Structure 1
Amino acid sequence: MSEIAATTVHEAYAFACMRCGHGWEQAYEIHHHVDGSGHAYVVYTADGERVPSPLSTPTCANCGGHVVRIMRSGRVSTVQELLRPAKAVRPQEAVEDAAAPAAVLAPAPAPATHHWQLSALLRPFHRR
């Protein structure tokens, strides 16, 4: 069979494992082909390697689970950005703080430790 036509589409998806809560994003090149017999088929590649369709049975790289929610790209990275600790103080800010009066530099109360539940981590992904 010889290949007659091919088009390539770039798509990205976000994934969240419902078993362990792991989230990740992946970009794909989707190659649409039509063989000599007129049958259409699709080939997915990620990072230059051929991979199975992410829409059929995605697998969590963290726990190997197959109960994975597929979302539009950007959903996981947005939540991960929100969960990152506050930015580090730059050296210039530290020098400016050293000149501030002691009353202004009173230590802030320690934040309470928060144990995240899977439902809390996935709350931003729920449709409203």
Structure 2
Amino acid sequence: MLDGFETREMWPYECLRCLYVWEEEFVVRRLCDAYGKRAEIWLSAGVPVQPPWAGSSCPSCGAHHLTSFPSGYLARHPELVAEPEPGPAPVFAPAPVSWPDSAPAARRSKLPGRLLIAFGVPLVLFLGYELYIIAAAHAGH
């Protein structure tokens, strides 16, 4: 024989990719069997789903990088909730990379060479000086 109860929980989320904010309602069935073993069944719209902290995705962009707020947070901060409900999630495609300065590729490709010079030249000079000091100390003996 199972013993248990149901509760309704609201989980507010924010997508860390597109910054969309929304709230989802879950029904949680907490059950306990005759042996004292406990289980939770999470339901969304009557369908069993993963718990809210596992496997959620943004309804706006489909990203899985989300954060959640404390229960009741969005009721206290209605300015965070977007007005229109999003349509179906688009197929995920990587966003094109845009460089802030819109520099041509030829100008950007010189950066690794400049870094090599900026770090390599002082390193070579320092090592050369140390080798010179060691060689001079051994020549003096």
The alignment partner of 2:22 has SS state of strand
> Does residue 3 of structure 2 align to residue 5 of structure 1?
yes
The alignment partner of 2:2 has SS state of strand
Q: TM-score, normalised by structure 2?
A: 0.49
For 2:22 and 2:41, locate their aligned partners in 1 and report how far apart those are by CA, in whole Å.
Answer: 21
Residue aligning to 2:74:
75
| 1:59 match | 57
Who is 1:50 aligned against? Answer: 48
Paired amino acid for 1:78: P
Q: CA deviation at 1:74?
A: 5.0
Unpaired segments ≥5 residues, structure 1: 85-128
Give the aligned CA root-mean-square deviation in angstroms.
2.4
CA distance in 1, matches of 2:39, 2:73: 28
- Given residue 75 of structure 1, which amino acid in structure 2 is its aligned partner? L
Equivalent-residue separation in structure 2 for 1:65 and 1:19 (angstroms): 7
> 1:68 deviation in Å?
0.8
Structure with the bigger percentage of strand: 1
CA distance in 2, matches of 1:57, 1:51: 9
**Higher RCO structure, 1 or 2 (CA under 8 Å, sep 6+):** 1
1:12-50 Cα offsets, whole Å, 9 max, x none, are: 111110011122111111100123442211011122222
Distance 2:33 2:61 in 1: 37
Q: Which has the larger Rg? A: 2
Distance 1:68 1:6 in 2: 31
**Cα separation, 2, equivalents of 1:59 and 1:9:** 23
Percentage of pairs with the same residue: 19
Structure 2: gaps spanning 5 or more residues: 84-141
User: For residue 16 of structure 1, what is the amino acid of its counterpart?
Assistant: E
